[in-house]
C-alpha cells in the first residue's frame, strides 16, 4: 500500500515514541512506507517541530550512511513544575500520615499515569548522560526504576534483600543502613550485570542514603560505576551526615507533625541542582 503523508505522520510518531533513545535509519521508514527519503525527511521535520513546539521531546538527526533519527524524551520546565507541584500537593494530604511519622506513598507508586510522567522527568534530566542500566532495591523503587527505564531504553536491575533459587549464583554485600545503623544484606544475581557499566541508582525515599551507598558498593563489586542517583522524595530530617551528596530529588520532606497532622514538603533539587542539559 501507498501511505499518505498524514498517515505516515501518525504512524511515525507512534514508532518514535515506542523506541526512545534508539537510532532509526531513514531507510527503515522509506521502505516501510514505500516513500522517497526526501519525503521522509520532510515528515520528520514536521514531527521534530511539533515535538519541540510542545516541549515533549527532541528529535536528533544523525547524518551519513550509518545515520538516522533518534527520539529523546524531554520534559519542559512548565510540565516539570506541574508534575512536582502535583506530587507535593498529593503527599501533603494528612491522610497519608502513619504512626511514627511515616508517609503512605504506596498508591502513588502504583499509579501508571503519574509514574510515566515521573519516569520521563528523570529520563529527561539524564538524557545526555551515559546510562547503561537502572538499579533499585526491592520493593518500592521498582516501579520508578521501570518508569525511567522505558524512557531511556535501558534495562532495570533489582537488588534484593535475600536470594532466590531462580537468581542463580549471586553476589552479596553487607552494608550499614543509614538511619538505624543496622547491618543489612544486598544480593544481586551474578549474571545480571556486566562490568564497565554506568548505572543510574533510584529509590522512592532517601534519608541518610545508606541504601544508595550499599548499591554503590555493589556496583564496585561488579566493576561498574554510578551514573547518578535519582530519588522521588528526600528527607530533610537528617541528624547525621548524608552518605550520598550527589543526588537528584523531586520533593523534599521538611516536617511531619503527628500531633497537628501536618506534612510539609518543598521542591527537591531538580531545578537547582544544575547540570540538567534541557
Strands 156-159 and 133-137: parallel
Residue reference for cell 542539559:
277
Contact 217, 251 (CB under 8 A): no
Return the residue of 40, 47, 230, 243 that touches its own copies, per CB under 8 A.
Answer: 47
Smallest distance from its own copies to CB 64, Å: 25
String marking each residue 150-179 x if it binds its own copies according to CB under 8 A: x--xxxxxx-x----xxxx-----------
How many other C-beta atoms lie within 10 A of the C-beta of residue 151?
25
Report 95-124 residues binding its own copies (CB under 8 A). 98, 100, 102-107, 110-113, 115-116
Task: State the burial class of residue 5 (Cβ atoms within 10 Å of its Cβ: 0-12, 13-18, 19+).
Answer: middle
Torsion of CA 133, 137, 139, 144, to 10 degrees: -40
Strands 225-235 and 248-257: parallel
Return the residue of 13, 30, 172, 276 that touches its own copies, per CB under 8 A.
Answer: 13
Size of the site for its own copies (CB under 8 A): 57
> Binding segment for its own copies among 47-55, 76-84, 86-94, 231-239 (CB under 8 A)?
47-55
Q: CA–CA separation, 12 vs 218, rounded Å? A: 41
Q: CA–CA separation, 159 vs 243, rounded Å? A: 19
3-state secondary structure of 115: helix
> Binding segment for its own copies among 23-31, 41-49, 173-181, 239-247 (CB under 8 A)?
41-49
Residue nearer to its own copies on the CB measure, 153 or 172: 153
| Residue numbers at the binding site for its own copies (CB under 8 A) | 1, 5-7, 9-11, 13-14, 17-19, 46-47, 49-51, 53-54, 56, 98, 100, 102-107, 110-113, 115-116, 138-140, 142-143, 146-147, 149-150, 153-158, 160, 165-168, 189, 191-192
Amino acid at each position: 500500500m501507498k501511505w499518505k503523508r498524514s498517515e505516515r505522520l501518525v504512524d511515525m510518531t507512534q514508532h518514535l515514541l515506542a523506541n526512545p533513545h534508539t537510532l532509526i535509519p531513514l531507510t527503515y521508514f522509506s521502505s516501510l512506507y514505500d516513500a522517497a527519503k526526501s519525503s521522509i525527511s520532510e515528515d520528520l521535520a514536521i514531527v521534530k517541530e511539533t515535538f519541540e513546539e510542545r516541549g515533549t521531546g527532541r528529535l536528533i538527526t544523525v547524518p551519513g550512511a550509518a545515520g538516522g533519527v533518534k527520539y529523546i524524551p524531554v520534559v519542559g520546565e512548565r510540565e516539570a513544575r506541574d508534575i512536582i507541584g502535583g506530587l507535593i500537593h498529593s503527599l501533603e494530604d494528612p491522610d497519608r500520615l502513619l504512626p511514627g511519622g511515616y508517609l503512605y506513598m504506596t498508591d502513588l507508586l502504583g499509579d501508571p499515569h503519574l509514574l510515566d510522567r515521573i519516569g520521563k522527568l528523570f529520563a529527561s534530566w539524564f538524557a545526555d548522560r551515559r546510562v547503561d542500566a537502572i538499579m533499585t532495591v526491592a520493593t518500592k523503587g521498582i516501579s520508578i526504576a521501570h518508569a525511567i527505564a522505558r524512557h531511556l531504553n535501558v534495562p532495570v536491575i533489582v537488588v534484593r534483600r535475600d536470594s532466590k533459587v531462580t537468581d542463580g549464583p549471586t553476589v552479596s554485600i553487607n552494608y550499614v543502613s543509614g538511619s538505624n545503623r543496622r547491618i543489612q544484606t544486598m544480593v544481586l544475581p551474578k549474571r545480571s550485570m556486566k562490568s564497565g557499566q554506568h548505572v543510574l541508582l533510584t529509590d522512592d525515599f532517601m534519608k541518610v542514603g545508606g541504601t544508595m551507598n550499599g548499591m554503590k558498593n555493589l556496583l564496585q563489586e561488579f566493576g561498574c560505576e554510578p551514573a547518578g542517583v535519582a530519588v522521588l522524595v528526600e528527607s530533610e530530617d537528617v541528624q547525621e551526615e548524608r552518605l550520598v551528596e550527589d543526588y537528584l530529588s523531586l520533593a523534599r520532606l521538611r516536617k511531619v507533625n503527628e500531633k497537628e497532622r501536618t506534612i510539609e514538603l518543598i521542591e527537591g533539587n531538580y531545578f537547582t541542582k544544575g547540570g540538567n542539559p534541557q
